[in-house]
């Protein structure tokens, strides 16, 4: 057949191309969106991770064993070892039934894949009667296979493969360019009518909870209902605007660490969730520099409170103050002004809108630990005077402890010592039998420490180091743990699991290094992210644990 190109033929070709493109987009739009997808970036990427894991732990023979398995499987020829491989889960077509699943395998050469899949006369991959269809035959069953988008889709339910299947590369987007393996739970995979039903159920539940909420007084009831209403707004925004939940892991070889991340991701053009999270993280953490210092454990919180939440906290403080004043008038009326000072300081701090707190454990073997904490205040000087007046009354109460007023001054702040706080055996193990609580109020924070004689010096160092740190800017929370500092507390007498853990940990951490575990929560472009970073020592632990399980 021959074609004649006339003067108008380019227009016809353009129309044909546009029509084909439109049809292709229509197919993509009509594809059944999955409820969840779990995949690895590629087979080769995972094999590289296995090599790294066992090389780091000193057990390269296990990586060689895995490579040997691949070699025995015809080197997985026919499979594209550089593209994603995983499973899609679809919402069941019948409500109440189990979800439908389809495994997807990237195909490089279908004939080579048939050779790879063949296992004697037991397992074979054979052509089906329909074009683009195959059957994986095993002694137990025959599994239908469909070729689409350069992938082989397998499912034990034939009806699953009758769907318009989406392209895995398009579904995962850039997720597998950021991770070696990932999972994505997707809102679009829920049928629209079920999403509407769920929204109606949520609204009904919130309305019912608010109507049934009761407090001791009309004011308390209104506060409870307002709080539930605020929580309902958050729940609705998350329900309506969340596009997907995702999680993934990757090995960062340059940083010698394993990173695990999870995120709530809002839909494109839906700014409520990202704007809210960004607003929560505004400002610099008051104690960021302190938490960033190397220590057995550290935790820092920084939240910029929404205006609605500040107002609710203020009203809650008003109610609490009324109750506290009533109890104080019946018991020790002389303390009434100091109770008012306490609530006034808390109210001003809430109005300022910044919640900043830090908790840190320092020291450790061969010495005892010292726990240090701080909470930022808007105006601490009136509270400091109130504490001076109230503590002697606390000491005089029947259950009161021995309190040394103005026991020491640290950086211009008076600290009081409360003795006998380590009564439980575990507290004595951590802080020592003579541990005491130090409490002091500075103009911008209340500080405390639990520990022995070294607590004073530790507290002075912490107060001097407190301040913002660039590395923690923009985070809502960050926690760090150094495992080797805690191994001395593991008691393995008569406990085989504890003994094995201690043995594996000691092999993984011959020196106190590469042992940091960090957890951080921070807003990202379209939502909120949880990030866990484990230094290389934890990879060595995984490798050693596998070796122990194999009797090595």
Backbone angles phi, psi at 97, to 5 degrees: -80, 170
Whether pLDDT at 267 is above 50 = yes
Angle at 182 between CA 176 and CA 187, to 5 degrees: 100
In a domain, 4, yes or no: no
Q: What is the mean pLDDT of residues 353-376?
A: 91
Q: How confident is the model at residue 427, as a pLDDT?
A: 86
Torsion region of 96: left, alpha or beta (phi above 0 gives left; psi -120 to 50 gives alpha) = left
pLDDT at 10: 44
Nearest-angstrom CA–CA distance, 145 and 117 = 13
How much is the pLDDT for 68?
A: 95
> Is 496 inside any structural domain?
no
Measured CA to CA, the distance from residue 290 to residue 48 in angstroms comes to 37
525: DSSP letter: T
HEC states along 89-142? EECCCCCCCCCEEEEEEEECCHHHHHHHHCECCCEEEEECCCCCEEEEECCCCE
Please indicate, yes or no, if residue 264 is contained in any of the structural domains: no
**In percent, how much of the chain has pLDDT > 90?**
55
Coil vs helix vs strand at 402: coil
Cβ(152)–Cβ(93) below 8 Å: no
pLDDT at 195: 82
Confidence of residue 20 (pLDDT cuts 50, 70, 90): very low
239/213: higher pLDDT: 239
Residues 369 and 432 sit within 8 Å (Cβ to Cβ): no
Confidence of residue 209 (pLDDT cuts 50, 70, 90): confident
Residues 330-354 have a mean pLDDT of 87
User: What rounded mean pLDDT belongs to the chain?
Assistant: 86
Q: H or E element: which one contains 30?
A: helix 9-30
Q: Does residue 21 register a pLDDT over 50?
A: no
In this prediction, residue 219 carries a pLDDT of 78
Q: Residue 345's pLDDT band (boundaries 50, 70, 90)?
A: very high
The answer to whether position 98 is within a domain reads yes
Q: By the 8 A CB rule, do 186 and 173 touch? A: no
Q: What are phi and psi of 445, to 5 degrees?
A: -165, 155
Return the half-sphere exposure (C-beta side, CA atoms, 13 A cut-off) of residue 68.
Answer: 6
Taking 80 as the threshold, does the pLDDT of residue 91 lie above it?
Answer: yes
What is the helix, strand, coil percentage profile of the chain, to 5?
A: 45, 25, 30
pLDDT at 292 over 80: no
Winning range, highest mean pLDDT, from 42-51, 269-278, 471-480, 507-516: 42-51
Question: Residue 255 burial by CB count (10 A; 0-12/13-18/19+): exposed, middle or buried?
Answer: exposed
Residue 99 lies in a domain: yes
- Looking at per-residue pLDDT, the higher value among 133 and 215 belongs to 133
Rg (CA), the chain: 31
pTM of the model: 0.87
Tell the residue number behind the tokens 């808390």, with chain if given.
346
**Burial letters 86-111, b for 16+ CB under 10 A, else e:** bbbbbbeeeeeeeebbbbbbbbeeee
pLDDT digits (tens, 9 = 90+) for 159-204: 999 989 999 999 998 999 999 999 999 999 988 888 888 888 888 8
Residue 152 forms part of a structural domain: yes
Q: Which residue has the tokens 């026919």?
A: 78
Tell me, what's the pLDDT at 239?
87
Each residue's pLDDT tens digit, 415-467 = 999 987 877 888 888 898 889 999 999 999 999 999 998 999 999 999 988 77
Q: pLDDT above 70 covers what percent of the chain? A: 90
Tell me how many domains the chain contains: 1
Position 472 scores a pLDDT of 63
Query: What is the Cα–Cα distance from 517 to 537, expressed in whole angstroms?
Result: 10
Do the Cβ atoms of 87 and 40 come closer than 8 Å?
A: no
Nearest Cα to Cα of residue 331 among 397, 267, 388: 397
For 77, the domain range is: 73-172
Q: Give whole-number Cα distances, 461 to 217, 331, 341, 510, in Å.
A: 47, 40, 29, 29
Q: How far apart are CA 66 and CA 73, in angstroms?
A: 11
Q: What span, in angstroms and rounded, lies between the C-alpha atoms of 13 and 74?
A: 45
SS (H, E, C) 274-285: HHHHHHHCCCCC
In a domain, 160, yes or no: yes
Q: What angle do CA 82, 85, 90 make, to 5 degrees?
A: 150
Helix (H, G, I), strand (E, B) or coil at 217: coil
Domain membership of residue 481 (yes or no) is no
């Amino acid at each position: 057949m021959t074609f004649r190109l006339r003067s108008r033929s380019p227009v016809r070709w353009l129309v044909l191309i546009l029509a084909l493109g439109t049809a292709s987009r229509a197919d993509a739009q009509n594809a059944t969106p999955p409820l969840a997808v779990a995949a690895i970036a590629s087979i080769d990427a995972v094999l590289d991770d296995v090599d790294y894991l066992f090389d780091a732990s000193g057990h390269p023979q296990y990586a060689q064993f895995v490579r040997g398995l691949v070699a025995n499987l015809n080197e997985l020829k026919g499979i594209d070892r550089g593209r994603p491989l995983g499973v899609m889960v679809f919402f069941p077509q019948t409500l109440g039934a189990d979800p439908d699943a389809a495994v997807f395998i990237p195909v490089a050469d279908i004939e080579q894949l048939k050779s790879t899949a063949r296992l004697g006369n037991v397992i074979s991959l054979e052509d089906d009667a329909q074009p683009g269809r195959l059957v994986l035959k095993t002694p137990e069953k025959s599994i239908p296979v469909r070729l689409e988008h350069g992938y082989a889709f397998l499912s034990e339910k034939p009806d699953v493969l009758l769907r318009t299947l989406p392209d895995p590369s398009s579904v995962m987007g850039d997720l597998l360019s950021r991770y070696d393996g990932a999972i994505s739970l997707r809102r679009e995979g829920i049928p629209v009518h079920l999403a509407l039903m769920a929204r109606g159920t949520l609204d009904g539940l919130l309305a019912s909870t608010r109507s049934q909420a009761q407090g001791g007084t009309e004011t308390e009831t209104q506060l409870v209902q307002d709080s539930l209403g605020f929580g309902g707004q958050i729940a609705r925004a998350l329900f309506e605007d969340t596009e997907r939940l995702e999680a993934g892991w990757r090995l960062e070889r340059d940083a010698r660490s394993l990173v695990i991340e999870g995120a709530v991701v809002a839909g494109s053009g839906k700014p409520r969730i990202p704007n809210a999270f960004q607003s929560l993280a505004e400002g610099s953490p008051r104690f960021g520099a302190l938490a960033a210092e190397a220590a057995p454990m550290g935790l820092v919180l920084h939240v910029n409170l929404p205006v609605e939440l500040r107002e609710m906290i203020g009203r809650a403080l008003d109610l609490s103050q009324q109750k506290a004043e009533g109890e104080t008038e019946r018991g020790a009326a002389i303390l009434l002004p100091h109770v008012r000072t306490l609530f006034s300081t808390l109210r001003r701090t809430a109005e300022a809108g910044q919640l900043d707190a830090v908790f840190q454990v320092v020291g450790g073997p061969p010495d005892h630990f010292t726990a240090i904490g701080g909470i930022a205040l808007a105006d601490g000087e009136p509270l400091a005077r109130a504490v001076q007046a109230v503590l002697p009354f606390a000491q005089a109460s029947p259950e009161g402890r021995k309190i040394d007023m103005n026991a020491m001054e640290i950086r211009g702040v008076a600290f009081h010592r409360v003795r006998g706080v380590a009564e439980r055996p575990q507290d004595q193990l951590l802080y020592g039998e003579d541990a005491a609580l130090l409490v002091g109020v500075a103009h911008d924070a209340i500080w405390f420490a639990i520990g022995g004689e070294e607590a004073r010096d530790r507290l002075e160092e912490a107060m001097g180091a407190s301040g913002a740190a660039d590395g923690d800017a923009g985070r809502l929370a960050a926690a760090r743990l150094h495992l080797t500092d805690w191994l001395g507390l593991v008691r393995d007498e008569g406990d085989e699991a504890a003994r094995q853990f201690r043995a594996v940990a000691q092999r993984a951490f011959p020196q106190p290094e590469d042992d940091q575990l960090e957890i951080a929560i921070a807003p990202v472009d379209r939502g909120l992210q949880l990030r866990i970073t484990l230094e290389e020592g934890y990879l060595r632990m995984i490798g050693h644990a596998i070796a122990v399980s194999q009797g090595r």
